[in-house]
Chain A
Amino acid sequence: MNIIVCVKQVPDTTEVRLDPVKGTLIRDGVPSIMNPDDKAGLEAALKLRDESGAHVIVLSMGPRQADDVLREALAMGADEAYLITDPAFSGADTWATSSTLAGAISKLDFDLIITGRQAIDGDTAQVGPEIAEHLQIPHISYCEGFKIEGDEVIAKRQFEDRYQILRAKMPALITALDEMNEPRYMTPGGIFDAYREKEVFVWSRVDVPVEDENIGLKGSPTRVVKTNPKMLKQPGTTIETGVDEAVVFLVDKLKEKYIL
């Protein structure tokens, strides 16, 4: 069984501070990490490999430095790694990113694709499902756990107040939540092997079968117009009372604030 895990290198947002004047993120000196949801997805793949045998391939689209997260994945135990990198791919939104990744994946043999639910620097949760659509395979998003039975993946899909158990015929894609597991540590020997024994295969524009109109900034239908810092909301107040009293209370409060 071949499992492809998509990983993204992201700034460690717990270390990112906001420039109080410009309202932008201060990224200088912020360490880069493997996106936590992706790391959980990788751990799930490695677990499956440990238990029943599988070939785990990690894939990342990003700048050259994204080599670091792929080496980390190799040091955790992944078998093979690909870096999709080219100036032509930069500035991509989720559409262009998923088109590019799907193009790269179409060149590889796979039974299951695992992506993280979303990246902590973008929070869109779109790339995973879009890859599945491009490849025309079923997907199950927001998985907090899954297992393989025959040629099917059976996954537990999380909602705020409930969950679904879904079944999909492989090849399929799932998106993983970081609460799915506790990712393993690398090993010292794994790190040395990742740099000295193993290879990260680099694919550029010419290696990826995808149309020009679907890549990079030009192939991105969405644009970030402006980023604003989010104001923290005060916690609300809960008043437990009957309906009639509640109406009176609410009207009084609205008058107090000159809304009525």
Chain B
Amino acid sequence: MTDPAEEEIRHHILERADALVQQGWSRADALREATRRFGDVERIHHEMTRTRRPRMTAPLRSVGSDVRYALRTVRGSPGFAVALVATLALGIGASSSIFAVIDALLLRPLPYRGADRLVEFNHAPLQTSGYTPGNTATRIPAWREVATDLVDGWVVWSLDRSVRTDGQSAEELRIVAVTPGADRLLGIPLLHGRGFMPDDAGPGSEEVAILGRGFYERLGSDPGIVGRTIRLESGPVTVVGVLRGGVRFPTWGGETDLWIPIRDDFTSAGRPVPFAGGFWARLRPGVSILQAQERVDVLAAALQEREPLDDGWAVQLVPVGAYRMSADRRQAMWTLSATVAAIFLIACVNGINLLLVRSSARGRELGVRIAVGGSRLRIVRQLWIEGLVWGLLAGVAALGLTVLATRAVAAIVPWIVLWSSPYAIELEARTLVFTFSASLAVGTMLGLVPALHVLGERGLAAIAGRPSDDAPDRRRLRTTLVTAQVALSMTLLAAAGLFARSFARLVHEDPGFEYDRIALARIGLSPIRYQDGIARADFFRRLEETLASHARVAAVTRADSRGFRSGAALEPEGGPAPANQPYRVPVSSVAANYLDVMGFQLLAGRAFEPADANSDAVVIDRDLATFLWAGSAVGRRFRLGEDGEWMTVVGVVRDLRLMGRDQREGPYQILYPAAPDQAGTWVDVAVRTTGDPAGLLGVIREAVHALDPEQPIWRLSTAAEALAEEEAEPRFVVTLMSLLAAIAVALAAVGLYGVMAFSVARRGRELAVRMALGADARNVRGMVVGEGMLVATMGVALGLAGALAASRTLEQLLYHVQPHDPATLAMAASLFLVIAAAATVLPARRATRVNPAETLRRD
């Protein structure tokens, strides 16, 4: 025997066993009972020997043994461990995967060098009405000249498109025209070759290009491509470099295929730069955006005197990251984060409750340790370390969940959401750090809440050996926690219900035309090979003839792709412009047969006739007619803005939802008659079939190819697919919200079940007495269920209040549903109460299955 502590323990157990044998126990039973009464041998041994170790390392070693002790308790009760870890992992995993999404879309700094000093020069009108001109080419050199003391670098860029062709087939390319030096200034890495040099922008230099990574790979990943030429519709360009990829530039617009330089005369590929893009400056270190704005205001005033063009405009400096996400989407993101935060809390509360239930047996032990002089700090530390061990175990499990969930979310996230993101959604270091921190936070809560509780408990009660787990304050804590949990998940369920209802409204909204018979092709004719509207119209006339001759095609029509009129007030003739003007009005010019072929429902007046071309005739939707006039609209005139042309309404259709079913981008719509011999650069060709429109897609592709093999089609789909794409974003939000709400409700139900089951188990004696005294099973069951339902009902009421409190936030995300929609809220509440009832009935049934005689004898 080398270990005195062990010998002492052994001595004690033998002595106790002797005593038991004398009382009539068998030797084997006596030994087993003596060991049981002694308690946790390992831990006691550890506490006896702990402080004998050398002073310096003692704290560390005892942390180690606390960890070992915690791990032993995990191994000791695997069922409990699985339940606790699974609950916590669900909470951590859900938060981590949503964090991965929000981080990529919103939080992670832009992937550019000095990103926090990058500002965009944003020209905004001084009046609310008016047309934003963007950054004109003439203005940029002036800015570059005057602001050098504020700014240490400039990037001007513009999105463009072009077509690469080998004469047989054509490929549409996304192009960024950008000023030389952008890669170096922004720190965008190259895989091969070089970036653009100032010489590349000089007069008479050859046309050069840098390949995007994806395009480079499509061309065969041959580094020898540097120095060779590829043929674009604008002519041959020499490849000088290849981007390494992984960094998107600009921040939105998806993958870029090709960079071309913006020349000093603000042309690219032989054409003036259209400036649909950005004008970025990097502020010098130490220059704040406010300082810069002050100077820019002064400079803008001077520029305006020099150039009357600037009259009525202000320049606003906006951090480049500010455009990362629209306000609507930001709102949706914050709603999602609030949701996962709630789930995280619910999971933690569940974990704490489980531990509280389990640790009630330990409450006495800890009470005694405090009473006999055990260090409180030491006890707190031990509980904390135990909590941390649980938290980290859950973190490891959550990591697996996060990997799967992030992949799943990345698979269903609509492209339109990613379109504005500089990053793809994937698991990366920041998410791992988040998962780890969340585990630590969970562990700390898990350890400290029970610790504070144990320490707060009256030591006397613990020593007196009263079953402290049923002490009123402990029960109150558990009930409070469960009520909070139910309330949080009820709020989530209500929100998810509202989202689901809103989405159902959205997809059941009649888009106003017979979309299930239509195939759509969006074609942007090359401005180089089709230089004017007449040439373009000729192309489309021939395409329509080819298509119309096909057996399955019933009719063909076209519309110039939709555009907007913004900033001008809608004004009826002879009357004032109504209030509540829309932010912008979608407009489109359409062929004479458009309404007929698409199947729009005419409410009044007539469809367009060929004679309407070049007249002031328009067709509007019912909503716009009601907005402008009380009575009939046909034959009346209105205009857009004080200097707009008067338009005469010839027809009113029921709904014109060319924007997709969700109209928030513009509630009213105006159709103009297109001149048959003119066409815009972007045209939607709509083909109506008698059968399934999906079968027509190949026909359209072949017809375009036959007419012009170098002309790609920008987008080709059935009208139903195009509508579904517009719904992709709300569908995504609804899917996530419903999933998260389901998790929350499940966790809350488990929590409710756990607490009720525990309460029934603890009160076995009381229930047995009641039943022995003649209470029948139904009464007892009713009592237990009633108690559970009281908690659930309180939680539901609080949760509904929470949902109402959040209604302002929700309102902006809902479509045609009020955030206090009584039917939805009532349904969510009933659903929750049914689930809660199920969670309490099980323990209640167990309560009545006890045999009173047995229970009473046992105690």
Chain B associates with chain A: no
